Amino acid sequence: MSLSAFIRGHREEIILQFAVFAQTLMPAGTVMTESQLRDHAEEILTEMAIDLGTAQTPDEQSNKSRGLGTAHAMRASGRLHADHRIAHGFPMPAVLAEFRALRHTILRLYEESGATDMSEVRRFNESLDESLTESMTRFAAQADVLRNQFVGILGHDLRSPLAAITTGTALLAIPEDHPERRARVTSRMLSSCQRMERLIADLLDLTRTRLGGTLPLTRRQADLHQICEDVLLEVRAGHPEIVIETEMAGNLVGDWDPDRMAQVVSNLLGNAIQHGEATPVTLVAKEEDDAITLAVQNGGKPIPPDALPSIFEPLARGPDHSASAGRSIGLGLFIARAIVAAHGGQIEATSSAESGTIFSVALPKRRG
């Protein structure tokens, strides 16, 4: 049996074994479904089977073995794989390990079938290497783009509060006796310092999760109802023009880190206000057996379906985002997901013109 026919005939077995291995490579805090892992393996295998079944002259084979081929049959799947993995925070070594796993899985199963056609194996290695090369090239280019975006947006986010502190310091240095004015300036400076502190804390959380760690939790008995009320006081004070409706039902006491849970509620409400186009925001928290559900809903333009899978990733912003529309480093939803995951819960997003955008959290009351 040719290797091309073998791949077509054993596609499900190959993908299953590959997906199991790929799940062991995912960075901490990364959420990928088995279907997401399988989809990209399916595309690579489909293109590989086509490439193996395509006639190839000795000159074409020689050029391809040296990376000089012109067909580029594996280009699309390699680039798509890189885009998907970098969006989910995979480091480059993990992507390389995926290709090694795919190569090992296919060749081991092919050998176990009793096949001995080495010309097919050689062509297989060339096809996979082409996809690997395209994936690594794309990965490096996208990493550079994201790195530049990250630095640029970080500089923008820090510039505004730093400018407020600098201006306030200059005003306070003027020997004038205006207590009310000095109080307003001091208040703005304090607010700017707190904003910078939150940004730095988010960056530290991002670094901790991307390096394979987990967010630290200080668990104790905490009432989510009270946590929501405290956050609502702060949010409403900062956005008095926004209508925020609430619904709380049942016993919402659980074994959580109250500060971290407040961060989740604050980030979800802040995101809803930022993208809700001044529409009312709804916060719902309910008891469901040994868990609670928390949902934040807003109106405005729905999130495009192709953007939903990456909505919790850093730098993920809507299509209407522009530099003049208030730039954000985009860590709020990422941090919220990491906190929920650290508590053993799940978070998901749905969005439509009819129902609006809803971020739903399911959280166990007690640690598992």
Q: Do 225 and 340 share a structural domain?
A: yes
For residue 339, tell me if it sits in a domain: yes
25-79 per-position pLDDT tens digit: 665 555 566 676 666 677 788 887 777 777 766 666 555 555 555 445 567 777 7
- pTM, two decimals, is 0.56
Q: Count structural domains, the chain.
A: 3
Do 236 and 331 lie in one domain? The reply is: yes
Give the tens place of pLDDT for each residue, 266-284.
889 989 998 999 999 999 9
Query: Do 304 and 237 belong to one domain?
Result: yes
Quick one: pLDDT at residue 321?
43
Other CB atoms within 10 Å distance of the CB of residue 74: 26
Same structural domain, 205 and 97: no
Mean pLDDT of 290-297: 94
Q: Which two tokens stand for residue 135?
A: 């994936």
Range of the domain at 346: 220-364
* 205 and 225 inside one domain: no
In a domain, 235, yes or no: yes
Pair (135, 183) in one structural domain: no
> What pLDDT sits at residue 368?
65
Residue 341 lies inside a defined structural domain of this protein: yes
The CATH number of whichever domain residue 274 belongs to comes to: 3.30.565.10
Strands (E), the chain: 220-223, 244-249, 253-256, 281-288, 291-298, 346-352, 356-364
Do 179 and 231 have their domain in common? no
Same domain assignment for residues 200 and 311: no
Is 215 part of a structural domain of the chain? Answer: no
Whether 90 is covered by a domain: the verdict is: yes
Position 113, amino acid: S
Q: Which residues contact 185 (CB under 8 A, 6 or more apart)?
A: 168, 171, 172
Please give the Cα distance from 14 to 103 (Å, whole number).
10
